[in-house]
Homo-oligomer: A and B are copies of this chain.
Amino acid sequence: MKNYTIHFLPHEKKIQIPEGETLIRAAIEAGVHINASCGGEGVCGKCRVIIESGMVDGGISERLSDEDLEKGYRLACQSVVQEDITVRVPVESTVDASVLNVKSTPRQTARIQQMDLNDLKQQGLFVPPVEKKFLELPQPTVEDNLPDVTRLVSYLKLQHDEHHLMVSLPVIRNIPDILRKEDFNITATLERPVHEGRKTDIIHIQPGDTTARNYAIAVDIGTTTIYGQLIDLFSGEILSENGDFNAQISFGEDVISRIVYAEKPGGLEKLQQVVVGTINKIINKIVRRAGVDKDDISAITLAGNTTMTQLLLKVNPRYIRRSPYVPAATLYPPVKAVNLGIELNEHVSALVYPAVSSYVGGDIVAGVMGSGMYLTEKLTLFLDIGTNAEIVVGNREWFACAACSAGPAFEGGGIEFGMRASKGAIEDFSMDPETLEPMNICIGNVRPKGICGSGLIIIVATFFEMKIINNLGKFDRDLETPRIRQKDGIYEYVLAWKDETQIDRDIVLTEVDIQNLIRAKGAIYSGCITLLEEVGLSVKDLEHIILAGGFGSYIDLERAMVIGLLPEIDPGKITYIGNGSLMGAKMSTLSNHIRRNVAEVTINMTNFELSETASFMDNYVAALFLPHTDIEQFPKLKERMKN
C-alpha cells in the first residue's frame, strides 16, 4: 500500500499515512487536534479543514456551504487521502496545541512480531510434522510378492531414507486399491513422531503424485471467537482464514458460565458439539475459499484456554472453577480429528496445545511457542490481556507464569458505555487542553455507540496527562466546561452529545468507569510485578515484552504506561503478536521442532497461583493509582508530568 505525506498547517507538521486513510486519523497520528465529537461520521461538522494542495476523495457534507467548498473546505473525518496533501486547520476547528507538543508523540503501537518463514527455513526448523513422499513402486511378481504395506515401507526406506515406519489401519484398508490405481505410483503422507527415534506413522496414501498438495489447519478456540487458517505446508503460506463467534456463547459469556453449563446433564456434550460446529463451519469456509481438496489436508492443530480445550475434548471441566483449581490434564494425546466430530478425513490427527494450569492454557503456550519466545535468550515478559490476563516471564532456560482476573473492563464490561472493539466504538481520542473539547475517532468512521478497551486507555491517559483527573481517577472539581458534570452524585465527562451519537444518549465516561479501569490495570500490573518478584526479578531486568491477544494489538503503548497498565519500558522493546494462540497453532503445523519442544516447555513452566501469593494483594493495592502509588516506577512519566 502506498503512503502519502500529509502536511498540516499552521502546525507545520508532516506525517506519512497510507492511502485510503482519513484526514482526521492523520491529524490524530500527527498530534494535531481537530474538534470532532461524532466519531467520524460527518454529523457534527466540527472538523472543517482547508485543502491547500492536492486532492482528497469525499469530505463534502451538508454541513459545508457551496462557498465553503469553493474555498477548499472539507470535513476531515470524511476526506480520504489519495495523494500528498497540504491541509490547513482553521482556527474554529483547533487551537494552538503547542502546550501538548512535548507529550503528543505519534501513537505508538508495538511492532509486530512473528517467526518468519525464512528464518524458520534458515534455522532448519521448517519441517512440517506431516510430509508427503512420492514413490514409483515396482509391481509385484511371483518372485517378489511382498505384502503391499511391506513394499511401501521398504521403498520409503530405500528411496527416502525413512525408518521406524508404522502404518495405520485405514492405510492398510486402502492400500490394495490405491496402489493399483496408478500403476503402483503412490504418495504417502508421513506423520513425524514428536520425539526422535519414535515411530513415524504412514497416515494416508493417495494414487499418483500429490506431494505439491499438502495442507494443514490451525485453529484458535477463543471463549468468544474462533479463528481458523488453512496453511500450505509446501510453501508455508496461509491460503485462507476466517473467524466466527464461538457458538458456545449462547451457553454463557465466560469460561465460568460455560463450566456451570457443562455440569448440567448433557451440558458437556452440548458444548462440545457446538464448538465443533463452529470449527467445522470455519474449516468448510476456508477450504472452499482456497479451493483445496479435503483429502489433501493432513493435520489440524488447535489451541485454546484450558476450559475451551477440555470442552473440545469432552473432558469435564468441573474442577477448574473450584479451589484448588485442578484441571483434568494439561498434556493431551493426539486424537483423530473425526473422533472429535471435526469434519476432516479419518487420517487427520488433531493436535491440541498443552496447558500449564487451569488458567494458563494452551492459547498462552501457543503464544510462547509461536512467537519464538521459547527460543529467546532475552528475559521476556509475555502478556495476554483479556478478562483474564495471562503472564509468562522467562527465556529459553526457564519460564514462570500466572493468571489474574482483570475483569471485563478492557472488553467493555463494567464501563457504562463500554463495548467490544467493533463499529462505532471510540478507539482514539484527543482533547483540546483549553476548551476540553474531544476529538473522537470511532471504528468504521461512524457516529459513536460506546468506548472500546483501547479507546478507554487513551481517554483516561489523556485525562490524566491533561490533569483533569488526579492519580485517584477523580475529576478536577474546579474545571468549568459543560463536558464535565455531576449526575446522580457521580462526576463524568461527556464524550459525545446525544445528537452526535448513534444511541440518542450522551456518551460519558464516569468516575466509576475510571475506577473499574484502574482495578483492571492494577490487577494486570501487580500480576506482572508479583510474578517478577517471585522469580527474584524486577521490571528493569526485562529485555522484551510481547503483547498477545487481539486487544494487545490495539494498545497505545505510551498511554498504557501512562495509566500504569504496562511497566514503563522503552516501547522499542515491546512487540505484539496479535492472536498468539492462532500463530502458535499455525507454527506447529509448519515446524515439528515446535511440537517436539512444546511438552518440555509446558512441563518446565512454573505456575504461580497469585491468589496464594501473599505479596500479590499488597502489589495490587499499590497499583490502584494512576499510574501507581509509587511514581518512581514510572520515571519518564514523572518527568513529563512535572511540566
Contacts and interface: CB of A to CB of B under 8 A. Distances in A.
Interface string A194-215: 0000100000000000000000
Nearest to A611: B142
Main secondary structure of the interface of A (DSSP, over half): loop
Contact of A329 (B167, B326, B329, B609): B167
A358 to B, nearest CB: 8
A326 B146 contact: yes
A304 to B, nearest CB: 15
Contacts of A150: 329-330
A161 interface: no
Interface stretch (A315-323, A453-461, A539-547, A628-636): A315-323
A494 interface: no
A639 interface: no
A324 B145 contact: yes
A283 interface: no
A141 interface: yes
Interface in A132-148: 140-148
A148 B145 CA distance: 50
**Copies of chain A in the complex:** 2
A466 interface: no
Contacts of A140: 324, 326
Interface of A: 140-150, 166-169, 172-173, 175-177, 198, 313-316, 318-319, 323-333, 335, 339, 355, 357-358, 609, 612
A324 to B, nearest CB: 4
Contacts of A313: 169, 172-173
Nearest to A201: B333
Contacts of A145: 324-326, 357-358, 609
18 contacts: A140-B324, A141-B324, A142-B323, A145-B357, A146-B326, A147-B326, A148-B326, A149-B328, A149-B330, A166-B333, A169-B332, A169-B333, A172-B313, A173-B313, A173-B315, A173-B316, A175-B328, A198-B198
Given A142-B324, A149-B330, 5 more contacts: A143-B612, A147-B357, A173-B314, A173-B315, A176-B316
Nearest to A171: B329
Contacts of A329: 147-150, 167, 172, 175
